[in-house]
Amino acid sequence: MATRRPVIAANWKMAGSQQLGEEVLEKFKLLPSSSAEVVICPPSVYLDSLQQQLSKHSSELVNHRISLGAQNMSHQEFGAYTGETSGAMLKEFGCSYVIIGHSERRRMYGESSDIVADKFIMAQKMGLTPILCVGESLAAREANRTFEVLNGELNAVLDKVGIMAFDNALIAYEPLWAIGTGKSATPEQAQEVHAFIRQRLTEISPFVGEKIRILYGGSVKPSNAADLFTRPDVDGGLVGGASLNASDFVNLCRIAS
Ligand code: PEP
């Protein structure tokens, strides 16, 4: 079985501050080492200062692998798209990753699965690794439609990009009913869905299915993380609320390591 390095990604959403970046890095300096890969996705306007803070503290962070990510990007390359940020700009400001298709973007900003697939393509074209978010609503889960919804969201991207594009991507399973609600999926529910997603990809390419890292997102916190992260198909977490507390976030990285 492939050994997959865990990933803990912070999604600050429209919160946080330059000061939070400093606090998080100070806490990492106190942690001797972590084997988990850490991705911090602040609002884009903070990327520059975080990049500078990372470089300022680099000699004290050599035992950690901390990368920057963005929470969203345009599916267009450049041009007259007021308010948008391109993949090339994110790359210029130090991003290696970008969250694609977060449910808040799908739900509140009308991002269709088609646009999500286009963003995925553009992210890779710009040298960024997409973190593709998928997840079912409470109504879909209660109607036993969880796998159908996930299949639909995965297929929308797979059909456009092909399986090999997933060799350089992460998937985040984020059930909508668990995001920001304080009510996490149980470790059993998370494992069941992660195994389904992996199986779905393995059927097309055993190589990609075994290798891809699938993160769980939805009210992850230090008190529930160990139980979630030790499930065989859960390769870490995408963390919203708890990533805004520097101690909690660094603690989550320690638990995942
Ligand atoms: C998220 O929005 O990606 C998320 C997982 O949020 P929270 O951890 O707050 O549920």
CA neighbours closer than 13 Å in the CB half-sphere of residue 63? 11
**Nearest-CA residue for atom 6 of ligand 1:** 240
Residue 3: the pLDDT is 87
2 pLDDT band, cuts 50/70/90, is low
2 is a domain residue? no
For residue 174, indicate whether it is catalytic: yes
pLDDT for 17-33, tens place per residue? 999 999 999 999 999 89
| Catalytic residue (one of 75, 102, 104, 153) | 102
Say yes or no: CB of residue 174 within 6 Å of ligand 1: yes
Backbone angles phi, psi at 66, to 5 degrees: -115, 125
Domain count, the chain: 1
**Is-contact 198 212, C-beta < 8 A?**
yes
Is 241 annotated as ligand-binding?
yes
Q: Looking at the predicted structure, is the pLDDT value of residue 152 above 90?
A: yes
Contacts 24+ apart (CB under 8 A), 152-159: 152/113, 153/101, 153/113, 153/116, 154/197, 154/200, 154/201, 156/113, 156/114, 156/116, 156/117, 157/113, 157/116, 157/117, 157/120, 157/132, 158/204, 159/117
Rounded to whole angstroms, how far apart are CA atoms 197 and 43?
29
Residue 160: the pLDDT is 96
Domain extent for 87: 7-256
1 is a domain residue? no
What is the three-class DSSP state of 205? coil
202 is a domain residue? yes
pLDDT for 204-241, tens place per residue? 999 999 999 999 999 999 999 999 999 999 999 999 99
Q: Looking at the predicted structure, is the pLDDT value of residue 139 above 80?
A: yes
- Integer CA distances (angstroms), 115 to 71, 102, 154, in order: 15, 12, 13
242 is a domain residue? yes
CATH code for the domain of 225: 3.20.20.70
52 is a domain residue? yes
22 is a domain residue? yes
80 CA distance to ligand 1 middle (Å): 31
**Is-contact 176 103, C-beta < 8 A?**
yes
Say yes or no: CB of residue 10 within 6 Å of ligand 1: no
73 is a domain residue? yes
